Structure 1
Amino acid sequence: MGRVQVSDWEEFPRMENDFSDSQLIHHFRGILVAVTKGDRENYDELVGYLHPKRNLNPDEIAILLTTLKALSGAASYIDSVHHEALLFAVSRMSLWNYGTDVMDALLELIISLAASNGKYLDWCLEMLVKHFVPPYYLLDSLKQENIIDRKTKVLSRVHAALKEIADLVPLAPLRLSPIVVQKMPSVFSKEPEIVMYADNMLRLESGAIGEIVGSTMLPALVDRLLELDVEIGWDGILQEDGKCIFEMELEDFTEFGDDENCDSMPPSELLNRKKLQGNMVVDKLDSLIVLTFLHLESCQSSGRLVEVFDVLLASFQKTVLNAYKSKFTQFVMFYACALDPERCGVKFAMVLTDMFCRDVNSPITRMSAVAYLASYLSRAKFLSAALVTSILQSLVDWCYAYCKSHNFDMNPRAHQVFYSGCQAIMYILCFRLRSLMDIPRLKLQLLNMPMEAIWKHKLSPLKVCLPTVVVEFLRQAKAAQFFMTSETFVFNDVLESDFSKAFGGMDRLDMFFPFDPCLLKKSESYIRPHFVRWSKVKTTYDEGDDDNDEISDSGSDASDDDFVDRNAKDMIDDDMMVTVEDLDFTPDLNKMSITPKSSLKYGFETRLDQCTLMPARIRPSTSPESL
């Protein structure tokens, strides 16, 4: 077998046209075989042409192209033991550094190696996955027009190569999934790097091999969102104290930004959003969530949303549901439901309801599920009144059955699941009671629910649940004449009793409302059209004139969709204060999921005539896992 001499390599650019492809491949096979016999002279010269170089001249490019193409034909002769230097040189090459001719030749070699020998499959897949992001020096230039063009050329070829390898090696997609997950940039990576990598993961999910890898890509991305989520520090942001920050006037925060939605935000939300600005972890999480939202929109357009939602739901149940300090990741589920309320939106609610009602689930899981359920039914503008009433019926029935089988005095820690269910009922009705009472058939269904028996039971949920929720609920119930004897539901001495503290204490699940307003600026703009803010809720004690389009008690039964269409009209601003005789508190549910500023936990007095602000939002450190 003839060999290519060193002098031949020097003439390589000119000889290329004088040799057929088969002759070149034959020469390269000879060089590779010679190495196994100890002859490395021409082999080392060959490897030298593969080492990355910048600013190649035309002759060097021609040699590189010919070398790569010939190696593709000789791929079956490449041995991982004797040709380690060659493989290392190839592994250091980046598609981002070359023109399209070299890109195509390099990819041809990678595909040939993957198909020629199974032991190179993982190596080839890793080579392709590493091109999901450009070399580090290009990360800050991704918005430049020439880099955008190069990005398109590189990534289209990478995904096409992955598809070709999958066709040639059916096992490849199964091997690809763990590689993609393993190579994901860490939470400490630059925002362009982690966002671009995630974009390619979602491209795989919706691509030609998505049927195999899709069930891995989305859960892995959600896991990374959660990792970023819990990295966000909240010290000094959401902690209430004696300064009463939530009582500051809105105009005190006008310098916080030019967000078009600022006027409708409570001061606490503006303050907290301002404090999050400039946080690199927050920015990465915000960008990744928006990227996921856009992917969900594309899935909806292609008719795949229900299928993708099932994958997301399984991931949510496995990780997010009981996650400690999850603040924003759950809005991926919320947005998916908003895109398809009739299927995804209803399914999410029903799954959460089932998780709470089934005794086979752990107490923490059940408490988390009902907290998510209460927050979801309260905040999701797209859910029908009929669905909300149906789920309320399920919760009431469960709590009533629990009361009948536990006919003894309260023990907060022994009945945490029960108290979580009771609080969920009250929380939902704080948001929905007025709109449900305005629909005759739903009003009748509500009035027939055995809620009064639950509140009067020896377990005394009104003394154990979060006082601000209880007070708001009782105030609305009284105004709506919801109970025949609603005036009997009062506290004896203090608003937050020792029982309430025992139920929560350091574990305060009673303030876990996961879908409080989103503080991520870009993500919130997607959530906003589908989200109910407390400032827009029309309560039963509101004295404003009813809208002409509002359904009155004397009207006929409304369709389920009427509630969705009318929801925006059912919300009004309500900042009025009331006297202690009317259960003194500020009806502001933007303050509805954090420990009241007057709390035994903080050593403040908690008399009924002193503390009644609805909690501001979830305090992440008190999610169910702390139990």
Structure 2
Amino acid sequence: MASVYSAKTGLSSILKAYTPTERVRAKNLAINKVRFEMPQQKGLKELLESANDDNNYQPLNEYIAFLKETDLSDDQFLTAMSSAHKLINELTPKFTNLVEALTSLSWTSRGSKAVKAFTEFYIDIMVAHNKYVQFGIPKLISLWIPADVDAPLWQNGIPTDDIEAKLEAIHILMNRILTAIPMSFEIVLEAIEHKFPYFKKDPHVIAGYIHNILWVTEYKPIFTDFIVQLIVKKLVILDVNAPRSEIEELDYDDEDEELEEENEDADIFEVDDCQKASTDYDIPPMKHVIAHTLDTCMEKMYTFLNTKNPNINGNAEQKLQLHNFWKVLLSAFDNVLLPSHNTHHVQFLIFYYCSFKSTLAEAFLSSLWDKIQNPNVSVVIRQAAVGYMASFLARSKFVSLTVLQNYLKELCNWAHQYIQRCDQYRQNGSLKANKVFFSLCQSIFYVIAFRSRDLTGDRKSLLFLQSLQLSAIVTCNFNPLRVCLPAVATAFAGVTRAYQLAYCHAILERNARRKLATVYANDTATAEETLDSFFPFDPYLLKMSINRITPHYMQYQASEAEEAAVVATHHTSSTLRHRKRGDSEMCDDIDDFIVADKRQKHRELARSQEREAQFTYGLSPGFHI
């Protein structure tokens, strides 16, 4: 009977479950039924007096609810700011809820009068009551984070003019607060770090936040060191979560297949020049999402570095700031990048900056060399410094031949002294006990093999290579070739034999025979002791920002003697020509013979074929012509 009555009267049962949509609709309906009036100046004062004198917070709480739930017009907004500004001294921490509601109002999209009223209130309330700085500054910094739906307003990390104008108002306010309240500096630093978006956020969110914190360095240069190191740390997180192998698989395998198809159809189809030109400016986002985020952020950082170009004409103060910025960047490298393992792209920030001026490149190399020589520096850092030096010398177009030869001389002198000292004391020759020495030797071999065309260009250069006494390093009791990456050992052997600098053939064959008796882990052909190698300036894979690096980046070019030797033995490598980019960079790319992830073995060859290819002189992995 009750159910019939309910049906007739249209009343629903109290046991009926509401859907989430119905709940939200009911909540909004209830909110809309509650109407709070905007109190006048006298009214706000009376609300505070009622709370202070009678301990009656109900009217004040209703006003706070009005501020939070109502979309204020500009007139209402101006009234609220004006009323609160006149009562600043009375807005003690007792009324924190009211101040939080006032400072949380949307203001950047309002008219100039409303923006001015808000900024004046914001600054004065922070100065009058320092406690409000604790939440006032994080509120402003939160406004630097683009919303998830704002991607169209942040193309490639660059804001639209409208967004830029809104951000400018926020930064003007932040600058005034920092100037008026020096004690707020620590709060700003803490909030900037705390508010940094999660690395899996959309690219425009992270790039937009970087855009804003770099903006801070323009009006408060004192923050530059902290902000640059923070950005580098966050980019390292992106970098290690975008492995080279995954980028190659997602973004380059399809391109390699398309390139092969284009080559096959080259005689039939022709591509219009205008279409080719348009592709340079219409770069699609990378398929690897985190790599795309990193690419966007790296482009943003390269643009920032351009503003710090030491070649810019300026006054003495500006030149001093640029000099100090180099120290900041080098400090970020020493503290963040150098200890980081297996990064692929972030280190190109210092590579790019060094390209601005030769003295910067020399200063960078000098810093690395100081670490390598210093026995008080940890072995891990010294080994990483050796890798950075070798890769930088090999890949930098802006490093002169004189500088290259000077550092090769220094490296070889250090190796000779180490050998003599250890022979005297009969030191243990294991890899673990001599990691720095073995890393340094491999770096010598790598640089000579990679830059052989420059280092063998004339008789004077050949005499220089002869003066390095490479044979003494190769034939020493440590036998450094046994722990080198096979690609490096083979490439170096090819160069030294072509120019009669050293004879490594017998040593490589003896090392290979010793390896035959080794039980390999996971049934892979790796040496019993192989150096953990890191060449940080291996090819750059980020598609949008690569244009910043390409003009300064050295691709491998074989010397004339090696080219002649390659022609003679060209048939031995026919099986190495067809592969995907992800298999191994050193197999058939003319410009690369080192792989960051040590995928140096050809998957298509049997082990016997690999050994044959490895010891074929004049044809080293990655040296195909």
- TM-score for the superposition, normalised by structure 2: 0.75
- Higher alpha-carbon Rg: 2
Sequence identity percentage: 22
Residue 318 (structure 1) aligned with residue 335 (structure 2) = yes
Q: Which residue of 2 aligns with 1:418?
A: 437
Q: Which residue of 2 aligns with 1:65?
A: 78
Give the Cα separation in 2 of the matches to 1:186 and 1:496: 50
How has the CA–CA distance of structure 1 residues 249 and 122 changed in structure 2, closer, same or farther, with 3 Å as cutoff? closer
The question of whether the paired residues in 2 share the 8 Å contact of 1:578 and 1:586 is answered with no
Kindly report which structure 2 residues correspond to 1:319-358, keeping only aligned pairs within 5 A, or say none: 319-340=336-357, 342-358=358-374
Cα drift, residue 50 of structure 1: 2.4
Cα drift, residue 48 of structure 1: 4.1
Residue by residue over 1:256-295, the C-alpha shift from the partner in whole angstroms, topping out at 9 and shown as x without a partner, is xx9x9xx9xxxxxxxxx99x93121111100101100000
Q: Which residue of 2 aligns with 1:281?
A: 290
How has the CA–CA distance of structure 1 residues 39 and 344 changed in structure 2, closer, same or farther, with 3 Å as cutoff? same
Cα drift, residue 351 of structure 1: 1.1
How has the CA–CA distance of structure 1 residues 577 and 530 changed in structure 2, closer, same or farther, with 3 Å as cutoff? farther
Moved more, 313-322 or 290-299: 313-322
The question of whether the paired residues in 2 share the 8 Å contact of 1:49 and 1:63 is answered with no
- The structure 2 residue matched to 1:294, chosen from 278, 291, 303, is 303
Kindly report which structure 2 residues correspond to 1:602-621, keeping only aligned pairs within 5 A, or say none: 604-605=607-608, 608-611=611-614
How has the CA–CA distance of structure 1 residues 79 and 504 changed in structure 2, closer, same or farther, with 3 Å as cutoff? farther
Residue by residue over 1:287-339, the C-alpha shift from the partner in whole angstroms, topping out at 9 and shown as x without a partner, is 10110000000111465444222212212222221313311111111111112
Q: Which residue of 2 aligns with 1:550?
A: none
Query: What is the Cα-based RMSD across aligned positions, in Å?
Result: 4.0
The question of whether the paired residues in 1 share the 8 Å contact of 2:390 and 2:444 is answered with yes
Q: Which residue of 2 aligns with 1:228?
A: 238
Q: Which residue of 1 aligns with 2:402?
A: 386
Residue 215 (structure 1) aligned with residue 218 (structure 2) = no
Give the Cα separation in 1 of the matches to 2:517 and 2:453: 30
- The structure 1 residue matched to 2:510, chosen from 492, 498, 502, is 492
The question of whether the paired residues in 1 share the 8 Å contact of 2:85 and 2:121 is answered with yes
Residue type at the aligned position of 1:494: A
Cα drift, residue 214 of structure 1: 1.0
The question of whether the paired residues in 2 share the 8 Å contact of 1:464 and 1:497 is answered with no
Q: Secondary structure at the match of 2:142?
A: helix
Q: Secondary structure at the match of 2:563?
A: coil
Listed as ranges, the gaps of 5+ residues in structure 2 are 1-34, 265-270, 277-282, 313-317, 577-586
Residue by residue over 1:215-247, the C-alpha shift from the partner in whole angstroms, topping out at 9 and shown as x without a partner, is 1100000011001111124566669xxxx9999
Q: Secondary structure at the match of 1:224?
A: helix
- The structure 2 residue matched to 1:103, chosen from 115, 124, 135, is 115
Residue by residue over 1:57-111, the C-alpha shift from the partner in whole angstroms, topping out at 9 and shown as x without a partner, is xxx421211211332332232233x323313323532334534433332222221
How has the CA–CA distance of structure 1 residues 519 and 616 changed in structure 2, closer, same or farther, with 3 Å as cutoff? farther
Kindly report which structure 2 residues correspond to 1:108-147, keeping only aligned pairs within 5 A, or say none: 108-142=120-154
How has the CA–CA distance of structure 1 residues 231 and 508 changed in structure 2, closer, same or farther, with 3 Å as cutoff? farther
Kindly report which structure 2 residues correspond to 1:431-510, keeping only aligned pairs within 5 A, or say none: 431-438=450-457, 442-483=461-502, 490-492=508-510, 494=512, 497=515, 509-510=531-532
The question of whether the paired residues in 2 share the 8 Å contact of 1:396 and 1:449 is answered with yes
The question of whether the paired residues in 2 share the 8 Å contact of 1:412 and 1:499 is answered with no
Q: Secondary structure at the match of 1:95?
A: coil
The question of whether the paired residues in 2 share the 8 Å contact of 1:115 and 1:169 is answered with yes
Give the Cα separation in 2 of the matches to 1:178 and 1:607: 55
Cα drift, residue 174 of structure 1: 3.4
The question of whether the paired residues in 2 share the 8 Å contact of 1:379 and 1:515 is answered with yes
The question of whether the paired residues in 2 share the 8 Å contact of 1:377 and 1:388 is answered with yes
Cα drift, residue 180 of structure 1: 0.8
Q: Secondary structure at the match of 1:542?
A: helix
Q: Secondary structure at the match of 2:229?
A: helix
How has the CA–CA distance of structure 1 residues 52 and 446 changed in structure 2, closer, same or farther, with 3 Å as cutoff? farther
- The structure 2 residue matched to 1:197, chosen from 204, 209, 221, is 209
Q: Which residue of 1 aligns with 2:538?
A: 516
The question of whether the paired residues in 2 share the 8 Å contact of 1:306 and 1:344 is answered with no
Kindly report which structure 2 residues correspond to 1:564-583, keeping only aligned pairs within 5 A, or say none: 577-578=569-570
Listed as ranges, the gaps of 5+ residues in structure 1 are 1-6, 13-23, 264-272, 545-573, 618-627
Residue by residue over 1:17-40, the C-alpha shift from the partner in whole angstroms, topping out at 9 and shown as x without a partner, is xxxxxxx4x764553343223233
Q: Which residue of 2 aligns with 1:597?
A: 601
How has the CA–CA distance of structure 1 residues 576 and 603 changed in structure 2, closer, same or farther, with 3 Å as cutoff? closer
- TM-score for the superposition, normalised by structure 1: 0.75
Q: Secondary structure at the match of 2:304?
A: helix
Cα drift, residue 427 of structure 1: 0.6
Give the Cα separation in 2 of the matches to 1:245 and 1:155: 40
Give the Cα separation in 2 of the matches to 1:506 and 1:125: 57
How has the CA–CA distance of structure 1 residues 506 and 410 changed in structure 2, closer, same or farther, with 3 Å as cutoff? closer
Give the Cα separation in 2 of the matches to 1:238 and 1:186: 24
Residue type at the aligned position of 2:448: L
Q: Which residue of 2 aligns with 1:403?
A: 419
